[in-house]
Amino acid sequence: MSDSILDIQNLSLSFQGLTETVDVLDNINLSINRGERVALVGASGSGKSVIARIILGLLQSQKGAIVKGSVRFRGIELEAATGNQIESLRGREISMIFQDPTSSMNPVYKIGTIFHEILNRGTHNISKKLALIKASKLLEEVSITEFKRVLESYPFQLSGGMNQRVMIALALANKPALLIADEPGTALDVTVQAQTLKLMHNLVKKNNTAVLFISHNLGVVRQFADRVYVIYKGRIVESGSTSSIFENTKHPYTKALMNAVPKITSKSFFDASDDSSLFKQPAFHHKDREIGQ
Amino acid sequence: MPPILRLIVQRISLALVVLIGVSMLIFAIARVIPGDPARIALGPNATVEQVEILRETLHLNDPIYVQYGYFVRDISQGDLGVSLYTNRPVTIDIAQFLPATLELVIVAGIMMICIGLPLGMISARYKGQFIDNLLRVVSLLGVSAPSFVWAVILMLLFAYFLPIFPVAGRIEDIYVIKAVTGFLLIDTLIDGNIDAFFNASWHIFLPAFALALSGIGQAARLTRANMIETYNKPYIEMMRAYGVSQFRIASRYAFKPSLIPSLTIIGLDFAAMLGNAFLVEAVFAWPGLSRYGVAVILRKDLNAIVGTVLVISLTFVLVNIIVDLLIAFLNPRIRYSQRPK
């Protein structure tokens, strides 16, 4: 499909240990279309974040990592096994937002310097002066009005929410076609998280940026995503449009995930079964109309 | 007051306290060691009266706090007294011997930074690979043998078996260099005598390298450990995710945060070389302050001992202030945490 931004086919990942091989991802198929917001939902350790790192080619150099399968970006094969083809796209066509914005920015460099470095990826040999002007505009887009002070600050001098806005501005600085958001703002409190997510939502909509949104927070996913993949222990167990996943939940694991969301009105803890044998049921893929067609 | 200025004032006042403490301590210790300095200075043939007269002029018969009072009075006028060993003012002796040692230590310090840090960076970059293992063995060797052993080995290898470097001294006698700073490497350049400059560099290379080796190993090992730790930080993954090149990350974004802890140790190593320099100076017949210091201690030359120790402490303290300022310069978290009192 010409409209496809990212197409992952039969991706698997295992780690070669000293005595045994540990399978982390098993036959993952996932696709994202232009401007589409796709969520990848699952528990900690289910393999969400490693998918993001494979797409960016950050994991392949790790000792003992064995990656198989194909990752195509705009129809171009990225050679997922080595990750070599991906380097030139990083920071230009694909960018990423990290979980904890404050620790994801170098503490001994000013925000302005970090902007200069990232903008240099999009426009080679950009001058510091021009980079700062561009950065100011980008910061204004994420509702930072005192951009001058922010650019002169070090990350540890700003609040978590402020850093998250900076992170979003950095991620969108070079107008990428795909944004990977790895549990954005999980380290922030809920109100700040909601504000920054809304900001991110509006910006990617405006720029028509495709998003791979990695999260364990179903409430946020429902508001943010067009389509959802549910991952359990390295396998996709259910996929479909957000509405069909939430309104017509099929797989037992997805149901358990939904039940686990604490409700403000409920006084007791959720009543979820611990019977994980149910979760091994075959995957269910909802037959939805493709979004954007 | 800007934070950096406050830091300087704070460190300098602390340094003064340290120096006063050191002066009291060394003043007392020098006088506690057994043996009569006047007798040693005058030799066994001097009469009791002659020794008594010298003791009187040196105020040795007064209580120690009165002696310290005289010392403070003199030092405030820039007078460290006369050496009983050379019969010259101690200040003149120090002015003659200090530059040679400082030059040696500074060149060794530069070697430590210019060789140790890159070795550590390369090791961290190729962690676990052949080159890393090789460099780790090399740096371990540097750390594990004392500098005078290296001095002898290097001298044997590169001055005796392979006569590439000279065996002793600071410069060949044929060159007559006007002393301006006392640093031959600088004075030869001031003179415009390039030949002499290369000759002096040739002479300083082996002793400085022997002195620097343990520091090089130390710096390499520390930098390696810090770099590896930094490489695992989220902000480095962020830079990689945005496609910043490996080289730029290694030389800039991972290097600067890793440098901060290394620098503290390098500063301490640098200052410790002032003391270690003695054995290297002895091996290479280097006319430096450390050799002078040992000679005067053996002679129980009170004024010279106190003067030498004070100058070495002063250098130690100055190096530490410089390191503190460098760290503050590199680490904004320290710079901005200096709160007004």
- Residue A159 predicted with pLDDT over 70: yes
Candidate from B234, B244, B256 with C-beta closest to A100: B234
What does the alpha-carbon distance between residue B93 and residue A250 come to, in Å, rounded to a whole number?
A: 91
pLDDT value of position A249: 86
- pLDDT tens digits, one per residue of A35-72: 899 999 988 888 888 999 888 888 887 888 888 888 88
**Chain B environment of A89 (Cβ under 8 Å):** 243
- Residue B2 predicted with pLDDT over 80: no
CATH 3.40.50.300 residue ranges for chain A: 4-261
What does the alpha-carbon distance between residue A231 and residue A29 come to, in Å, rounded to a whole number?
A: 11
What does the alpha-carbon distance between residue A147 and residue A153 come to, in Å, rounded to a whole number?
A: 10
Residue B233 at interface with chain A, using a CB cutoff of 8 Å:
yes
Mean pLDDT of A254-260: 84
Q: Checking DSSP bridges between strand A4-16 and strand A65-73, what pairing results, if any?
A: antiparallel
| Phi/psi of residue A4, nearest 5 degrees | -75, 130
Residue B277: band (very low, low, confident or very high) from pLDDT cuts 50, 70, 90? confident
- pLDDT tens digits, one per residue of B48-83: 888 888 888 878 888 888 888 888 888 888 888 888
Residue A236 parent element (H or E): strand A235-241
Candidate from A90, A107, A109 with C-beta closest to B242: A90
Domains of chain B (ranges; CATH) run 3-76 (no CATH), 94-298 (1.10.3720.10)
pLDDT value of position B166: 80
- Residue B47 predicted with pLDDT over 50: yes
Mean pLDDT of B190-208: 84
- pLDDT tens digits, one per residue of B148-157: 888 888 888 8
pLDDT value of position A1: 47
pLDDT value of position A59: 84
**What part of B 91-150 touches A (C-beta under 8 Å)?**
128
pLDDT value of position A109: 93
Q: Please name every residue paired with A90 in a beta bridge, in sequence order, or none if there are none.
A: A94
CB-based contact A106 B333, cutoff 8 Å: no
Tallying the residues shown for chain B, one arrives at: 341
- pLDDT tens digits, one per residue of A169-179: 999 999 999 99
**Which of B75-89, B103-117, B228-242 is predicted with the least confidence, judged by mean pLDDT?**
B75-89
* C-alpha distances out from residue B47 to B51, B52, B70, B84, B167, Å: 6, 9, 26, 17, 44
- Residue A274 predicted with pLDDT over 70: no
| Residue-averaged pLDDT of chain A | 86
- pLDDT tens digits, one per residue of B248-268: 998 899 988 888 888 888 888
pLDDT value of position A136: 94
- Give the chain B residue nearest A173 (alpha carbons): B242
Residue A168: band (very low, low, confident or very high) from pLDDT cuts 50, 70, 90? very high
CB-based contact A104 B332, cutoff 8 Å: no
- Residue B159 predicted with pLDDT over 90: no
Candidate from A56, A92, A104 with C-beta closest to B235: A104
- Give the chain B residue nearest A116 (alpha carbons): B244
Handedness of CA B90, B91, B95, B101 (dihedral sign): positive
DSSP character at residue A270: P
Distance from CA of B189 to the nearest CA of A (A): 38
- Residue A293 predicted with pLDDT over 50: no
**What part of A 169-208 touches B (C-beta under 8 Å)?**
170
Percent of chain A with pLDDT over 70: 94
- Contact of B208 with B151, CB cutoff 8 Å: no
Percent of chain B with pLDDT over 90: 8
Q: Checking DSSP bridges between strand A235-241 and strand A227-232, what pairing results, if any?
A: antiparallel
Residue A163 at interface with chain B, using a CB cutoff of 8 Å:
no
Residue A230 parent element (H or E): strand A227-232
For residues A125, A127, A131, A134, the Cα torsion angle rounded to the nearest 10 degrees is -100
Core vs surface per residue B216-233: b (16+ CB within 10 A) or e: bbbbbbbbbbbbbebbeb
Q: Choose between B253 and B334: higher pLDDT.
A: B253
What does the alpha-carbon distance between residue B340 and residue B172 come to, in Å, rounded to a whole number?
A: 55
pLDDT value of position B56: 82
**Chain B environment of A156 (Cβ under 8 Å):** 332-333
CB-based contact B237 A92, cutoff 8 Å: no
Q: What is the CATH number of domain A4-261?
A: 3.40.50.300
pLDDT value of position B184: 80
Q: Which amino acid is at A162?
A: M
- Give the chain A residue nearest B243 (alpha carbons): A90
Residue A135: closest CA among B333, A102, A149: A149
Distance from CA of B13 to the nearest CA of A (A): 28
**Chain B environment of A49 (Cβ under 8 Å):** none
Residue B87: band (very low, low, confident or very high) from pLDDT cuts 50, 70, 90? confident
Mean pLDDT of B2-28: 86
pLDDT value of position A61: 79
B39 sits in the region (left: phi over 0; alpha: psi -120 to 50; else beta) called alpha
For an interface test with A, which of B235, B236, B253, B335 has the most A Cβ atoms less than 10 Å from its Cβ? B235
Q: Checking DSSP bridges between strand A210-215 and strand A37-41, what pairing results, if any?
A: parallel
| Residue-averaged pLDDT of chain B | 84
Residue A179 parent element (H or E): strand A178-182
For an interface test with B, which of A96, A104, A164 has the most B Cβ atoms less than 10 Å from its Cβ? A104
Kindly tell me the burial class for residue A50, based on how many C-beta atoms sit within 10 Å of its own C-beta (0-12, 13-18, 19 or more): buried
Candidate from A63, A108, A118 with C-beta closest to B331: A108
Residue A100 at interface with chain B, using a CB cutoff of 8 Å:
yes
Q: Which long-range contacts (CB under 8 A, 24 or more apart) does B30-39 make?
A: B30/B300, B30/B302, B30/B305, B30/B306, B31/B64, B31/B67, B31/B302, B33/B300, B35/B300, B37/B84, B37/B300, B37/B301, B37/B302
C-alpha B129 chain-centroid distance: 35
**Which of B107-111, B164-168, B237-241, B310-314 is predicted with the least confidence, judged by mean pLDDT?**
B164-168
CB-based contact B240 A92, cutoff 8 Å: no
pTM reported for the whole predicted model: 0.78
Kindly tell me the burial class for residue B174, based on how many C-beta atoms sit within 10 Å of its own C-beta (0-12, 13-18, 19 or more): exposed
State the number of CA atoms in the 13 A half-sphere of A97 facing the CB.
Answer: 30
- Give the chain B residue nearest A176 (alpha carbons): B242
pLDDT value of position B129: 87
- Residue A289 predicted with pLDDT over 60: no
**Chain A environment of B228 (Cβ under 8 Å):** none
Place of tokens 């540097």: B142
Place of tokens 């440098």: B259
DSSP character at residue B232: T
Residue A87 at interface with chain B, using a CB cutoff of 8 Å:
yes
- pLDDT tens digits, one per residue of B243-252: 888 889 988 9
Max intra-chain CA distance, chain A: 59
- Contact of A109 with B261, CB cutoff 8 Å: no
C-alpha B218 chain-centroid distance: 15
Candidate from B235, B248, B260 with C-beta closest to A105: B235
Residue B234 at interface with chain A, using a CB cutoff of 8 Å:
yes
